[in-house]
Every structure is written in structure tokens, then in C-alpha cells.
Amino acid sequence: MTQYEAVIGLEVHVELKTKTKIFCSCSTEFGKAPNSHVCPVCLGLPGVLPVLNKKVVEFGIRTGLALHADINRRNKFDRKNYYYPDLSKNFQTSQFDQPICEHGALTIDLENGEKKVIGITRAHMEEDAGKLVHNGNTISVSSGSLVDYNRVGVPLLEIVSEPDMRSAEEAKAYVDELKKIIQYIDVSDCKMEEGSLRVDANVSVRPIGQIDFGTRTETKNMNSFKALQRAIDYEIARQIETIESGGTIVQETRTWDDERGMTLSMRSKEEAHDYRYFPEPDLAPIVISEEWIEEVRRQLPELPQSRRSRLVLEDGLSLYDATVITDTLAMADFYDRVRMGIDDAKSIANLLMGDLSKSLNELGSSVDESNIDPAHVIELIRLMYDGTISGKIAKQVIPEMLKTGDMPKKIVEEKGLVQMSDEGALEAIVLSVLQENPQSVEDYKNGKDKAVGFLVGQVMKATKGKANPGLVNKLLKEKLSLN
Amino acid sequence: MSISKKDVEHVALLARLALTEEEKVLYTEELNAVLGFMDTLNQLDTSEIEPTTHVLDIKNVFRDDEVAPSMDPSQVVINAPAKKGNQFRVPKIM
Ligand SMILES: [Zn+2]
């Protein structure tokens, strides 16, 4: 039986986080009343003159640099002509033969621990289109769709990969890494569910060993990572099945139906795409200077891949821990700043990924939006180091610290959470617990080590969780062996 | 380079023009005449000349990213042949 491999390339659209649209001063704010963020430029009325938002170019350069791409010193806009009422001009202003970025690359971590470089063909600036609501089943309204042009002109960057991916997992890893990079450099929110990151997948299959690509399809409308993976897996299976049963793959656009779990042909009456691109005469060419590029480069943060490597190689964290810590720039920066005060990467990682993240999640907050600074966590870890509090008490301090913004020391003192390490006082409590639980003492003597756990619990209960656990264990074992 | 009647039909479809048979024949002739003129222009040697992307010698015309008021939504649809509320109504496409 023939073995097949998939060939996958992705086109990712990200909505840029500018305040205004790409060619006019209308707001890009989401979710407003229909046609309330619209002006003559958005509508393409005769005589209007679009003017490019400088921030869009800056974001384009920033993205290009983060993706190790060449920035085209000279680039321009073109008109992509098509008839569809999502743009009233009958064309989309985009970039055709001179995009702002070309020849980039991004590295993904594969499940088996290896790394793979995925090429990026190009990234270009363009405007988003409006929204059509295909409405109603009743005869009176079914004759038409309603059009809201608020989204027209929201700046997009379309990032096109090389056909370098071979599985849905690799495609997911690519989008995941791209999303992280874009979020690190703060040019887009990348919310797939809200449409600020949209992925189209070009998928084909070929017998393993064959050099030529098979015929590809383009799948759209995947609104989550899960949908992306399912759609690609479905498309690979569908194409192999079609070929195996003697059919041929038609080059076409397909749409992912998440409920039915399948891709469907979007065959339209329209002849094959013929966008008749030509240079946009209303926009001046863009010439990007070395100085501008260097200025943007200086503002780039350290990127996820490099941070992960640093945390693994220099701090000795596992790749898993390093990946979790560097998932967001805010957490990665927070870690670095705590790390400056505490020379124990693993303890910091455990605290940040464990109790702190748990409490943040419960509050629906994140480390950058919270009440606390790295100084809070540094002080908290030091309190654990010097034995003032136990890890158990830290669990009580963290939510309080997030709620009030108070320093851990203050919380520990005010709430009387200081760990009990007075050996004499603890000894008295241990003795009374042993006296009250003769059955457990008996069990211990009969070789049931579990009994110790129960007794520790009783001492903790008697001290309201404040007893130093190490000391309690030590004292209990001493007394039990004397008995 | 010459244009066939099939090319004219294709361009007419893309431009949503309904042409009669006579018009198709006429436009095939006329477009070929235009392209013939292009051939004349193409005789010039332009290998040393940068392609023109803009008629004026300008570059980098930018705006700062600052919000200005948009139109009143009722004004947006004021000339629309069909509307509902402040939205345009267009014929069913798909
Ligand atoms: Zn506008």
C-alpha cells in the first residue's frame, strides 16, 4: 500500500493593534454599532484620498525582524480587484509584488524534542473587509444580506509560510509559535476565537518519496487551534481516500464545518481567481531607511525561542517548565525579575507555575494586571527559605497578596501566619496528640507507616497549619521510636 | 499580443458587463487596437528605467495613529438604494 505524506503551508492573517484604521482615522474599536466607524475613505467614495497609518508600517517592520525576514527597503500597495460587497470599492488595497517582508523563518519545537525551521515566504500589509450578515429565512428578508463596514480598513498583516509542514501537529506548533512571537512584539492580540488571528491552510498529499507536490486545497474558517488540527487531519484523510479510490483532487477553496467535523467545497460560479492586481495610484511608495529599521530593532524584546533556550541551558529548567514560563511576555519578564533576587530557578518556576498561576486563574487575572510585583514573590520565597513560613502557609499568603497588594511579610505578621518552629512548644503538642490517638501509635508499631501522616495532620490541625512540617516529622518519629 | 473574443467575455464577466454579440465583436477589435498601440510603446528600450509606481516623485506619505470622528451612521447609508437601519442591504450573493 502506498504511504502518503502531507504538505502543508499556512496563510495567517493578524489584525494589528493600532488605534486607527490603515488608510483613515476611523477607530478600529471592535463591537460597535453597525457603520459607526465608517468614513468616505472606508466607503471608497469618489474623490477620497487614503493616507497610510505610519504605525502599520512600523508593526510590519517589527514583525519582519522578529521573523528573521528581509525588510524590503522599497515597497508599495496594489489593488486586488474582486466583486463582493464586503468592500464597497470592488478592490482590496493590499501588497502584491513588493510586500514589506520576505524570506523569513521561524523555529518550532517538535514533540520528540527536535527543532524544525519553517520558512516564511512573505508578510504583507492590507486592509480588512466588512462583515456581511446573511439574514433570515423568511421570504421578505431572504433576498439580501446586510452589510456593516466597521471592520473595513482595519490593518492586517498576512503572513505566508513555505509548504514546510508535514502534519497537523506541526501546523499547530507553527501557529502557536507565530502567535507567541506576535504577542511578544505587541502588534496583535491574536485571538483566534475573536478573529484577530485567522488561519487558512493549504494542504496537499503525495506518495512518500515523490518530489512534486500534489494538487492542493485551501481550507478556511477554522476558529480555534483544535479546529485547525481537525480540519487539516480531515483534509489529509479525505485527499488520500480520494486518490486511493481512483479520484483526483480538485484545486479549490474549502470551508471547515466544525459541527459536522468536515471540510466542504465552496465551489462558486466565479471563474478562477483573477484579481488583476495593479499599483494603487492613491498611495505613495514606501521607502524604509536603515535608521528606521535599527530603531525598531532596538525595541524588540528577547523572543520566545531564545528565552526558552536560556531558561533550559542557563537556569537548568526542563523544556516543559521553560515553555510554560515563557508562554506570555509578562510571565517571562516577571520570572526574570524574580530570578535577579533569588538564585533558585526551579523554586521560582514551581511557585509561578503552581500556586501563583492557580490563584491568578481563579481571579481571572494575569501577572501584569495583578496587584503584585516581583518584589512580593522574592520576599515570599525568602520567608520560606528562612523558615518563617512553610509552603503550606505560602498557599494562604498568595491569594491575600493578590487581593490586597500587601507585602508577604506584612500579611504573615498581621494574620499571625508565622510558622511555629519553637521546638519546646511543638514537643508539648506532639505529646498530647500521641496521647489522644493511642490507636495510631499502635498502628505505627505494627508497621503501618501511614499512621505518621495522620499524626502529622493532627499536629497541624492543633496549630492551625502553622507548625513547621519538618520539625513535626522529626519530633513525631523521635517520640514514636521511644514509645 | 492579441485579444480573442473569449478574453473579452472573461473581462466582461469580471466587470459584470452584459455584452451583446455585436458588442463582443466590436470590443475585441477595439481592445486589439489599444494593445497594438502598446506594442508601439514597447519598442522603446526601458531596460535602464525604474518601473513607475506613482506618477509623482513622492514617498512615505504617512498619518499618525490618532483617532478622528467618523460619519454619522445614518449618513453612511443615505445614498444606499436598499438599507435596513444603518446597514446596507445587498442582493444575496452565495
Ligand atoms: Zn474611515
Among partner residues A51, A146, A285, which is closest to B89 by beta-carbon distance?
A146
**B91 contact A CB<8A:** yes
Of the pLDDT bands very low, low, confident and very high (cuts 50, 70, 90), residue A268 is: low
From CA B43, how far away is CA B39, in angstroms rounded?
A: 7
Tell me, in angstroms, the distance from the centre of ligand 1 to residue A340's CA.
47
pLDDT at residue A139 is higher than 80: no
Tens-place pLDDT, residues A2-29 = 899 999 999 999 999 999 999 999 999 9
pLDDT at residue A67 is higher than 70: yes
For residue A424, what pLDDT is reported? 85
Question: In terms of C-beta density within 10 A (0-12 exposed, 13-18 middle, 19 or more buried), how is residue A410 classed?
Answer: middle
Query: What does residue B72 show for φ and ψ, rounded to 5 degrees?
Result: -70, 130
Residues of A in contact with B92 (CB under 8 A): 134, 142-145
For residue A179, what pLDDT is reported? 96
Task: Note whether B62 contacts A287, CB cutoff 8 Å.
Answer: no
Task: Note whether A34 contacts B86, CB cutoff 8 Å.
Answer: yes
Tell me, in angstroms, the distance from the centre of ligand 1 to residue B77's CA.
14
Of the pLDDT bands very low, low, confident and very high (cuts 50, 70, 90), residue A271 is: low
Residues of A in contact with B65 (CB under 8 A): 18-20, 53-55
Tens-place pLDDT, residues A459-477 = 888 887 788 888 888 888 8
- Report DSSP letters for A239-293, one per residue: HHHHHHTT------EEEEETTTTEEEE---SSPSP----EE-TTS--EE--HHHH
Residues of B in contact with A85 (CB under 8 A): 88, 90, 93
Residues of A in contact with B64 (CB under 8 A): 53-55
So what's the ipTM on this one?
0.88
Of the pLDDT bands very low, low, confident and very high (cuts 50, 70, 90), residue A141 is: very low
Tens-place pLDDT, residues A347-362 = 999 999 999 999 999 9
Lowest mean pLDDT among A13-17, A135-139, A397-401, A417-421: A135-139
Task: Note whether B76 contacts A55, CB cutoff 8 Å.
Answer: no
Lowest mean pLDDT among A5-19, A253-267, A285-299, A407-421: A407-421
Average pLDDT value for chain B: 91
Task: Note whether A146 contacts B54, CB cutoff 8 Å.
Answer: no
For residue B14, what pLDDT is reported? 84
Contact A53, A18 (CB under 8 A): yes
HSE of A327, CA atoms in CB hemisphere, 13 A? 10
pTM of the model: 0.86
AA identity, residue A230: R
Query: What does residue A280 show for φ and ψ, rounded to 5 degrees?
Result: -75, 110
pLDDT at residue B92 is higher than 90: no
pLDDT at residue A342 is higher than 90: yes
Q: B5-42 adopts what CATH topology?
A: Histone, subunit A (1.10.20)
For residue B52, what pLDDT is reported? 78
Q: Give the Å distances, CA to CA, from A268 to A11, A231, A252, A272, A278.
A: 21, 21, 10, 9, 24
Domain spanning A423-482, CATH architecture: Orthogonal Bundle (1.10)
Cell of A21: 484604521
From CA A197, how far away is CA A188, in angstroms rounded?
A: 8
Tens-place pLDDT, residues A70-80 = 999 999 999 99
Task: Note whether B53 contacts A285, CB cutoff 8 Å.
Answer: yes
Tell me, in angstroms, the distance from the centre of ligand 1 to residue A149's CA.
9
Contact partners, residue A414, CB within 8 Å, separation at least 6: A406
Of the pLDDT bands very low, low, confident and very high (cuts 50, 70, 90), residue A272 is: low
- Mutation target for B interface from A17, A24, A35: give the one with most B CBs within 10 A: A35
Residues of chain A with CATH 1.10.10.410: 423-482
Q: Which residue has the cell 446596507?
A: B88
